[in-house]
DNA sequence: TCGCCGCTCAACCTTTCGATTGATGCGGAT
DNA sequence: ATCCGCATCAATCGAAAGGTTGAGCGGCGA
């Protein structure tokens, strides 16, 4: 019998997962959490955690995943979310998630994924696997710390002049950083850079 | 007996709604739709449609809502989504939705909302009602639908030229919208407008 | 009916941004 | 010891964005 914890801030989603998974004789939902903090507390009791990423407030799902997988003899964490953006996927994998599924997955796949995860097998939704392949093929746009700092200020709406003052630089240096950012991200404007940076999880979302 | 149609592209969510609503003796889920187009086809058969806004591909939930409410003797449409951004809310209301709920709503509220909607009463989630009140109270940050649309494209990193092509406008019109957006938001650049727009929930974060 | 507001467009001007070229110093990797 | 990436700065030029003024049209409410 595989014991499950459902971590999602939407009661409707928890009810749906429960309905879908409890038709399986070898799966048992033994706990539900409506926040990431609660999920961390309850994780020790189960074999597999179904973890959402976005909670209304408080801890993020990937943080909770990292805390759960940090302990020895930790349960497997299966991330189950709506989005398949690069940033989310990478954060979840780095946090030690065993798998990454999307909520539009058919119920059959869900049960199968839980069983695979319980044995430690990595399980990825097709769309997620596709993204990861793309990322391998296209070397990640690794911005330097300074460049990320500049991009963050751009995302806050600051002009080059304002950024230069904030960071005690000349405008020339700010522009220089921006040129590098644009080439690395494959864009040609500050707004596009912000959009791309968010997409790839380079700046806070 | 109130007959319901569940329109959501996530099987898990549909299962959850079914589980939650079928415990109520006076509610009956008679159909499910996994796309907006399907929802439009099936809408005639029911009293209330529970409509998601984001579908994986194809028609948007607000478009489907508009089509459904256009016919005489139309069922009530209750929008049930994850987001409470001004853009989504305005679009849904203009499309003729009877109510706007968020998926993190407790199950009890859900059943009550459906009953109210069936009698034609407007039902709003507290967070949504709050946003609408703010809009009334602070006309400063009340962007028009068109302006929100433009701001959304700016946030995606498009240039004025690209936006003009996308919306079949001249660049002059796009600039005109942007000037209005800047004054309403109290900023003076596109990136700052995007930051402010996100801050105030005018566009999806 | 009149006026307001949203949406559309034009012309003009100023400022900012983006692109290019080139240079310096520092620190880690080879 | 040398090379390369990172961070810093300068000068220049064309392109894009921002600001202003003005104007026409359609809908909606007073």
pLDDT of residue B15: 94
Q: CB of residue A200 closer than 7 A to nucleic acid strand D? A: no
Query: pTM value?
Result: 0.76
Tokens of A186: 């494959």
The contacts of residue A116 (CB under 8 Å, 6+ apart) are: A99, A123
Residues of A near B (Cβ–Cβ under 8 Å) read 9-20, 56, 82, 103-107, 110, 154-159, 187, 189-196, 205
CB pairs under 8 A between A and B: 107
pLDDT of residue B7: 96
In contact, B85 and B203? CB cutoff 8 Å: yes
A 122-151: CB within 7 Å of strand D? 142, 144-147
pLDDT of residue A205: 61
Low-confidence stretches of chain B (pLDDT beneath 50): 139-140
Nearest CA to CA, how far is B97 from chain A (Å)? 21
Q: Are strands A99-102 and A123-124 parallel, antiparallel or unpaired?
A: parallel
* Euclidean distance between CA atoms A149 and A155, whole angstroms: 10
**Å between B23 CA and C25 C1'?**
73
User: Would you say how long chain B is, in residues?
Assistant: 205
Those nucleotides of strand D lying less than 7 Å from any protein Cβ are: 5-11, 16-23
pLDDT of residue B140: 44
pLDDT of residue A31: 95
**Å between A170 CA and D10 C1'?**
10
The contacts of residue B55 (CB under 8 Å, 6+ apart) are: B9, B34, B35, B36, B61
Q: Name the percent of chain B lying above pLDDT 90.
A: 50
pLDDT of residue B138: 52
Query: What is the pLDDT tens value at each position of chain A, 205 positions in all?
Result: 899 999 999 999 999 999 999 999 999 999 999 999 999 999 988 999 999 988 878 888 888 998 998 887 889 999 998 877 766 777 788 788 999 998 888 888 999 999 999 998 999 988 888 877 766 555 556 788 889 889 999 999 999 999 999 998 999 999 999 999 998 888 999 999 999 988 887 776 6
Nucleotide nearest to A149 (CA to C1'): D7
Compute chain A's Rg from CA coordinates.
20
Q: Of the candidates A9, A13, A157, which has its C-beta nearest B13's C-beta?
A: A13
């Amino acid at each position: 019998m595989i014991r499950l914890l459902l971590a999602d801030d939407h009661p409707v989603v928890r009810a749906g997962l429960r309905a879908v998974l409890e038709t399986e004789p070898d799966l048992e939902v033994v706990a539900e959490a409506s926040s990431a903090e609660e999920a961390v507390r309850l994780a020790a009791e189960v074999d597999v955690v179904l973890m959402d990423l976005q909670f209304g407030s408080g801890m993020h799902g990937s943080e909770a995943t990292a805390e759960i997988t940090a302990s020895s003899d930790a349960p497997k964490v299966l991330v189950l979310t709506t989005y398949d953006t690069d940033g989310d996927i990478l954060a979840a994998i780095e946090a030690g998630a065993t798998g990454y599924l999307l909520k539009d997955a058919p119920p059959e796949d869900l049960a199968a994924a839980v069983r695979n995860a319980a044995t430690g097998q990595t399980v990825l939704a097709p769309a997620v696997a596709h993204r990861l392949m793309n990322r391998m093929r296209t070397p990640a746009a690794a911005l330097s710390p300074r460049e990320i700092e500049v991009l963050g200020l751009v995302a806050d709406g600051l002009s080059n002049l304002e950024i230069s003052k904030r960071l005690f630089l000349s405008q020339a240096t700010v522009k220089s950083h921006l040129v590098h950012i644009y080439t690395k991200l494959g864009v040609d404007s500050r707004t596009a850079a912000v959009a791309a940076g968010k997409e790839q999880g380079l700046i806070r979302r």
